[in-house]
Amino acid sequence: MIKVNLEGCNSFVSEAKYQEYVEKALNALDVLENESGAGNDFLGWKHLPSLNLANGLVDECEAIRDSWKAKGVDLVVVIGIGGSYLGAKCAIEALKHPFSSLLAGKKDAPEIVFAGQNLSEEYICELMDLVQERNAACVVISKSGTTTEPAVAFRIIKQYIENKYGKAE
């Protein structure tokens, strides 16, 4: 349980106003939990952890990891924008050793780079310089699949991967 001490707010937020805010927050939480508000068809994310664990998503991800490891993938390009890009970046940064790329020794995980968060032709060109030197794989994160920046990056990476490894890969 989270407890918040708001005593320092007493001089500029009255008790009545505070209670009004609490009521609004509880009403908003109720709308979210009951999926009864506008945009409720976009709330599938609420059930993702439990549904994906039950549907074997972790096993599927581990199988892809093992396949990429067996193929010597040493670079993963994560394509996304907004929350898709930032969510992946946040999770990766939180879970990795902050100095892993600077430590000596054999790397047991591929380097991860990002694309699709901008339309910079220079960024894409320099990314492709790196991709061409490495054994690359790609992960695309997109809710709609129609956002311009990730769509452009995906098409460029996809074409390169198909030309290098073949369409089946």
Q: In whole angstroms, what is the distance from residue 62 CA to residue 57 CA?
A: 9
Q: In whole angstroms, what is the distance from residue 160 CA to residue 111 CA?
A: 18
Q: Say how many C-beta atoms besides its own lie within 10 A of residue 142's C-beta.
A: 18
Residue with tokens 């699949």: 145
pLDDT score recorded for residue 40: 81
pLDDT score recorded for residue 42: 79
Total number of residues shown for the chain: 169
- DSSP annotation of 101 reads T
56: confidence class by pLDDT, cuts 50, 70, 90: confident
pLDDT in tens, 101-149: 788 777 778 899 999 998 899 999 999 999 999 999 999 998 788 889 9
Alpha carbons within 13 angstroms on the beta-carbon side of residue 41 total 1
Q: Is this prediction's pTM over 0.75?
A: no
Alpha carbons within 13 angstroms on the beta-carbon side of residue 135 total 11
pLDDT score recorded for residue 121: 93
